[in-house]
């Protein structure tokens, strides 16, 4: 069985979490804080391209498992990796020559074609080119050079701009070029369950990463107090067994969107329209809280979130069981840190910086201390 190198694209900052997810599937090795075989080569300083990393030495059959990874945005099989070709137009000629002769290209193409259920009589392809760093050539020049190399290698093919049989992605970072043949389609990153979207709705891959950080357990009682369109709840439901899912939102349109996206699936689940600062939930009965907090931009205002965060953390600490976990996403890192510090039972144990639609944000893992029983006795409320 042949072994190939795959390329995973993910939201910048999620590489560590994606490596952890793949490790649980036996597709990488090493703990969560080590990317031993999934090595990040993202141009994070430029913020111009998604993060990507290699997943090496896997059999071709591994593509089935990789295509179900929930934190991946896209999956490719590596067709070539080139470097030292220069930043100018002469360098593009060298790149074209190297790509035409690349030994990995043939088996990569064969695997990508194998993934198609029905092939056309004539194979078509399109090139997507991405640049990070200073170059004298343009993105369109890179696109043309790669396209010519593909036709040099496969003269019976034809180049098209849409509805291609294969997509060839070429990414140049400084003097390194990686060419991958796309194996995934848009459903890997967008999912099929989202019938209704809302402004500032959470990307499913980021929601899946937050679920992974929570380290799901079969006996979890999971709460999303500001559930929006329901993405976090659905991703948790698809991650494995749980005891119960709870979710709600103060906005009627968000509550309705969550109901439509979730539908009759994922039982037992309880959805309510509520105020996340005064939850109708008994103290100490929730084991996991997942939430995409308002950033004060698309949702809320900067002044509003300054007063909102302390109220939310006070209430959520009340319903969270001793030893429980919160996984919270926000761009207001310092504000959240102060709100957590004000709650004696809570402590931040890990942070993961991510880039969401060009804006920096942070995933926080927060634990409720097992000795925080006193905090869970505040303000009793009716159970859901």
Residue 141 confidence (pLDDT): 95
Residue 301 is predicted with a pLDDT of 55
Considering the domain architecture, whether residues 163 and 251 belong to the same structural domain is answered as no
pLDDT at residue number 27:
74
Contact between residue 253 and residue 277 where contact means Cβ atoms under 8 Å apart: no
Beta-carbon contacts of 24 under 8 Å, excluding residues fewer than 6 positions away, are none
What is the CATH number for 8? 3.30.2130.30
> 6 forms bridges with which residues in the sheet?
55, 77
d(CA 259, CA 310): 28
Whether residues 310 and 331 fall in one domain: yes
Q: Measured in whole angstroms, how far is the alpha carbon of residue 197 from the centre of its chain?
A: 17
DSSP-assigned letters across all residues of 303-330 = HHHHHHHHHHHHHHHHHEEEEEEEEEEE
Structural domain range at position 49: 3-187
Same domain membership, residue 107 and residue 130:
yes
384 within some domain: no
Of the residues 169, 187, 205, which one is the last residue of a structural domain? 187
Domain identity same for 255 and 272:
yes
The answer to whether 84 and 175 are in contact (CB under 8 A) is yes
Whole-angstrom Cα distance, residue 316 to residue 223? 10
Q: Indicate the residue among 187, 211, 238 that finishes a domain.
A: 187
Give the total number of structural domains in the chain: 2
Same structural domain for residues 67 and 147? Answer: yes
CATH of the domain at 278: 3.40.50.150
Q: Mean pLDDT for each 10-residue chunk of the chain (384 residues)?
A: 81 86 72 32 45 75 90 94 83 93 96 91 96 85 97 97 96 87 93 84 94 97 97 97 97 94 93 97 98 70 80 97 97 95 96 87 95 46 37
Residues 237 and 328 in one domain: yes
Both 124 and 196 in a single domain? no
């Amino acid at each position: 069985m042949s072994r190939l190198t795959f390329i995973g694209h993910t939201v910048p900052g999620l590489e560590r979490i994606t490596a952890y997810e793949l490790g649980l599937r036996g597709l990488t090795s090493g703990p969560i804080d080590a990317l031993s075989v999934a090595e990040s080569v993202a141009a994070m300083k430029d913020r111009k391209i998604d993060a990507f990393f290699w997943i090496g030495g896997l059999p071709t059959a591994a593509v089935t498992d990789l295509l179900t990874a929930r934190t991946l945005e896209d999956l490719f099989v590596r067709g070539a990796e080139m470097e030292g070709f220069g930043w100018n137009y002469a360098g593009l000629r060298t790149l074209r020559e190297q790509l035409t002769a690349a030994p990995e290209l043939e088996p990569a193409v064969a695997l990508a074609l194998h993934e198609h259920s029905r092939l056309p009589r004539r194979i078509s392809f399109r090139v997507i080119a991405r640049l990070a760093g200073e170059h004298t050539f343009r993105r369109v020049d890179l696109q043309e050079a790669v396209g010519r190399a593909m036709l040099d290698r496969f003269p019976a093919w034809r180049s098209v701009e849409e509805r291609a049989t294969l997509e060839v992605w070429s990414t140049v970072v400084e003097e390194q070029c990686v060419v991958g043949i796309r194996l995934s389609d848009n459903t890997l990153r967008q999912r099929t369950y989202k019938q209704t979207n809302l402004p500032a709705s959470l990307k499913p891959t980021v929601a899946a990463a937050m679920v992974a950080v929570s380290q799901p357990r079969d006996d979890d009682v999971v709460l999303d107090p500001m559930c929006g369109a329901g993405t976090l709840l659905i991703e948790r439901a698809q991650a494995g067994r749980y005891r119960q899912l709870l979710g709600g939102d103060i906005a009627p349109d968000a509550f309705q969107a969550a109901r439509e996206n979730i539908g009759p699936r994922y039982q037992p689940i309880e959805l309510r329209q509520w105020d996340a600062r005064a939850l109708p939930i008994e103290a100490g009965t929730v084991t996991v809280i997942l939430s995409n907090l308002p950033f004060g931009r698309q949702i809320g205002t900067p002044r509003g979130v300054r007063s909102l965060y302390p109220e939310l953390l006070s209430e959520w600490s009340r319903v969270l069981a001793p030893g429980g976990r919160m996984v919270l996403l926000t761009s207001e890192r310092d504000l959240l840190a102060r709100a957590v510090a004000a709650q004696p039972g809570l402590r931040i144990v890990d942070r993961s910086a991510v880039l969401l639609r060009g804006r920096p944000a942070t995933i926080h893992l927060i634990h409720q201390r097992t000795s925080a029983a006193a905090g869970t006795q505040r303000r009793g409320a009716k159970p859901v």
